[in-house]
Amino acid sequence: MNLTSQQVRKLESIIVAAQAVLAEAKSATNGKSLKPKRVRRSGKDLVAFRKMLISERKKGVPVAELARKHNISSAYIYQL
């Protein structure tokens, strides 16, 4: 495949732009993944977690705040 010098320059500029975007994304996340790691609760931990959620709801803590704080869906909280 023969490329002209103009095509090579365009490809190089695309590569430079892509590397800049990747570097910016890595610096923004500090090498960590964007999604937090899921936590699977079972047994006694799950029972304690549910009781804690119910008690916080009775205190009047907003569902959106609880969902964000504990990394769970608001539907899960309403389900309790």
37 within a domain of the structure (yes/no): no
- Does residue 36 fall inside a structural domain? no
Whether residue 15 lies inside any domain: the answer is: yes
Residue 48 and residue 27 in one domain: no
Any idea which of 3-7, 13-17, 27-31, 50-54 has the lowest mean pLDDT? 27-31
Question: Which two structure tokens, joined as six digits, stand for 62?
Answer: 């907003």
Counted domains in the chain: 2
Q: What's the chain's length in residues?
A: 80
Average pLDDT over residues 4-23: 95
In this predicted structure, what is the pLDDT of residue 28?
A: 73
On whether the pTM is more than 0.85, the answer is no
The pLDDT tens digits of the residues spanning 34-77 come to 566 777 888 999 999 999 999 999 999 999 999 999 989 999 99
Residue 72, Cα to own-chain centre: how many angstroms?
12
Structural domain for 74, as ranges: 44-79
Do 51 and 74 belong to one domain?
yes
Residues 51 and 72 in one domain: yes
